[in-house]
Amino acid sequence: MSAPAALAEPSQRVGRGWIASLSLANGAIWVGWYGPIQILLALQAAALAPPGTAKETVLAWVTGAGAAVSLLANPLFGALSDRTASRYGRRTPWILGGVLGGAAALALLAEARTVAAMALGWCLVQLTLNAAFAAITAAVPDRVPHLQRGVVGGWLGAAQVLGVVVGTGLATVAGGVTAGYLACAAFTVLGTLPYPLLHNDLVLPRAARPPFTWRGFLAGFRIAPRRHPDLGWAWLTRFLINLGNALALLYLLYYLRDVLHHPDPDGGVLVLTALNGVTLLATVVVGGLWSDRVGRRRPFVLWAGVIMAAATLLLGTWQTWTGALCAAALLGIGFGVFTAVDFALMTDVLPAAAHRGKDLGVINIANSLPQVAAPALAAPIVNHLGGYRVLYAVAGAIGLMGALLVRRIRGVA
């Protein structure tokens, strides 16, 4: 008896309309995340920090708490979507529910008047948008054959970068913190809706859903490196490269304001983000397509990580506006290739079709955990252990280590 379509390995190439609507939904979620991360949370932290408490510390606590929620929410909702036997499919209910909840949480965050309310609002944003993101990510191994995943990952990466740029732009030009949050919320909903409305999801028959036990459900979240060593090394590679990138970007607004003394730090962040986005867009789809055509993933991830590490070191050694522009351009080139090809690599090392959402959720912890670790590392480095030069040296070394570890993956070329 053949497996149901929802659990079968995909063989039919997906069309341009499917890729476009999924990419738009992915980018819309990143608008909901990065408008706050790049601009709005930093402005709120500076406005709400209690007397005697540094704004960097407030921002670190809030973003760290949100990232901790993200760390748990992504694999949890991925696992729940794996088991969803709705007539609308496994992923669609979580996509719709997640973005609507995320928009409501952003509106709540806009009204925060204390640090505690700000932290609660950001945690709710992370909880809800991760439900949608986990389901969108799982749609790729559900529907896309292996030799198309590089190019699909490239378009998703392009949408991600455009989401960061659009989110930063909306936060900058909306006319205040409250208006910025509401603009990001509206874009998140409107950009996500075309995918679930225009494309039917694969339905999991109730009879094909495995029996539920709490022990089995909880045990499924553990990565077993001995059983699946490639998955373990791929996870560690992604974690370290993302940690280096998170350390480089966390205090960008404060770096421009306090180190470079830029006359318009908010606008400077927007310029750097836009430049980073342009160079990323120039490489993300090309990198994924090239990887598909040559049938190799590891060399692309390795050299992308090396380029990103070099760009991060530039921020610490060439502390001028020109140096920041060059670093932003190089980070975009490296992160573009890394985003597309590493995503394809991750889907290639998934152990089983029945729990793709859960496995990708565990893998996505490698995106969320750096957001927890980065504030814990960055705040003491900046305030007590040498400042921004040391911060960017540490970030570059961590990213380079991650790039080198991709050579330990054996099952993917």
Task: Give per-residue pLDDT as tens, 335-379.
Answer: 989 988 998 898 888 877 777 888 888 888 887 788 778 888 888
- Inside any domain, residue 6: no
Q: What is the CATH number of the domain that holds 388?
A: 1.20.1250.20
How far CA 86 is from CA of 74, 75, 81, 204, 351, in Å, comes to: 20, 19, 10, 7, 24
Evaluate if residue 171 carries a pLDDT over 70.
yes
- Inside any domain, residue 218: no
Please report the sign of the dihedral spanned by the C-alpha atoms of residue 306, residue 307, residue 312, residue 315.
positive
Mean pLDDT, residues 397-408: 93
- Inside any domain, residue 372: yes
- Inside any domain, residue 3: no
Alpha-carbon distance of 283 to 157, in angstroms, equals 10
Q: DSSP string of 279-337? A: HHHHHHHHHHHHHHHHT--HHHHHHHHHHHHHHHHHHHH--SHHHHHHHHHHHHHHHHH
The vertex-49 CA angle with 254 and 372, nearest 5°, equals: 65
Average pLDDT score over the chain: 90
Alpha-carbon distance of 169 to 20, in angstroms, equals 22
- Inside any domain, residue 279: yes
**pTM for this predicted structure:** 0.81
- Inside any domain, residue 214: no
* pLDDT confidence of residue 223: 67
- Inside any domain, residue 323: yes
Task: Give per-residue pLDDT as tens, 76-101.
Answer: 999 999 999 999 999 999 999 999 99
Please give the residue range of the domain that contains residue 114.
13-197+225-408
Task: Give per-residue pLDDT as tens, 210-264.
Answer: 777 777 777 677 666 677 788 889 899 999 999 999 999 888 888 999 899 998 9
Give the closest residue to 279 by CA, choosing from 174, 164, 404: 164
Say what percent of the chain tops pLDDT 70. Answer: 97
Task: Give per-residue pLDDT as tens, 289-299.
Answer: 999 888 888 99
* pLDDT confidence of residue 2: 59
Evaluate if residue 1 carries a pLDDT over 60.
no
Domain count for the chain: 1
Mean pLDDT, residues 118-129: 97
Evaluate if residue 53 carries a pLDDT over 90.
no
* pLDDT confidence of residue 72: 87
Give the closest residue to 316 by CA, choosing from 251, 241, 238: 251
Evaluate if residue 382 carries a pLDDT over 80.
yes
Q: Where are the alpha helices (DSSP H) in 37-148?
A: 41-48, 55-82, 92-110, 115-143
Q: Say if CB 344 and CB 150 are below 8 A apart.
A: yes
Task: Give per-residue pLDDT as tens, 175-197.
Answer: 889 999 999 999 999 999 999 99
- Inside any domain, residue 324: yes
